[in-house]
Amino acid sequence: MSIRGDTLDRLVIPDETTVEEHDLVTDGDIIIGGQSTVEFGVRGRSVIAGERTVFGGSIESTDDCRLDMWCDVHGNVLVGADAYIGERARIGGQLVVSGDLDIGDEVDIEKGFEASGWIIIRNPMPTIVFLFLYLSHLLRLGEEEAAAEVANEFLGEQDDALVIPRGSHVSDDMWRVSTPGVIGNGCRLHGNIRAASLTVGEDNDVFGSLRTKRCITIGKGTRIHGDVTTRHGTVTVAEGAEVLGDISCGDLDLHDRATIDGAIRASGEMSITNDSIHETM
């Protein structure tokens, strides 16, 4: 993803992301825009959350954790390196930090905290606001290499980061975002997914329906346990993919070795393809 773009301009679910009981689990970083609700607990490398983000469970990060002001975590926060907790944040369980703790005023930690390193009490600028102001300044100066280094230090490699856009709602029943969405390969997800558009990679299991305003692409070997619906866009279903529900769309591009268990409603053109033939109906 270009650092000239907005890092939070789409939902990104990296390869091998899973929902395990009540936790959202990924090997990479987790980046969540402000004023979002994530009813899961989360487990990943670094966790960064914007202001007023609500977590329905615990946070476990093997590296740093940065929670901006007014964040509300219903469970514990367990941090493998350093932590920044913004002012007036609330943690319903215990805070355990293996490194340094940078904490704002009026933070409520119901079951106490432990920090192995330095503890600093102050109210710096929220992490995500500071990061993008700093990146914008570097880019205006033409320091693109320096900006890339800063982005990688804070956000890790974009290819393996789980990104939830600002103002989203994620739960076991529903993933609701107003931006486009991209799902990697080998994921196992629960909940209906609502987005502006969706690209779903290969060999995924999605236990819910897909609904967008624009296009939906379903990769090889992916199984959708629900309906696939788009108002105006094209639905593309690759070889070996399965939709265990209905498809409603404008145009449909269907591989002849894909499986659709329900009804197909295409208001526009329907194409059936294989490796050598493209047939239009």
Q: Which of 249, 246, 239 is nearest to 197 (CA)?
A: 249
Residue 145 has a pLDDT of 72
Tokens standing for 276? 């050598």
Residue 228 has a pLDDT of 98
The pTM of the full predicted model, rounded to 2 decimals, is: 0.85
Residue 2 has a pLDDT of 37
Cβ atoms within 10 Å of 205's Cβ, excluding its own = 16
Tokens standing for 90? 């609330």
Gyration radius of the chain's alpha carbons: 21
Residue 112 has a pLDDT of 92
Q: Which of 27, 60, 28, 69 is nearest to 42 (CA)?
A: 60
Q: What is the mean pLDDT of each run of 10 residues along the chain (281 residues)?
A: 53 94 92 93 94 96 93 97 93 96 92 91 62 60 67 59 93 94 96 97 97 96 97 93 97 95 93 66 52
Residue 5 has a pLDDT of 41
Angle between helix axes 127-140 and 144-155 (nearest 10 degrees) is 160
Distance of CA 36 to the CA centre of its chain: 11
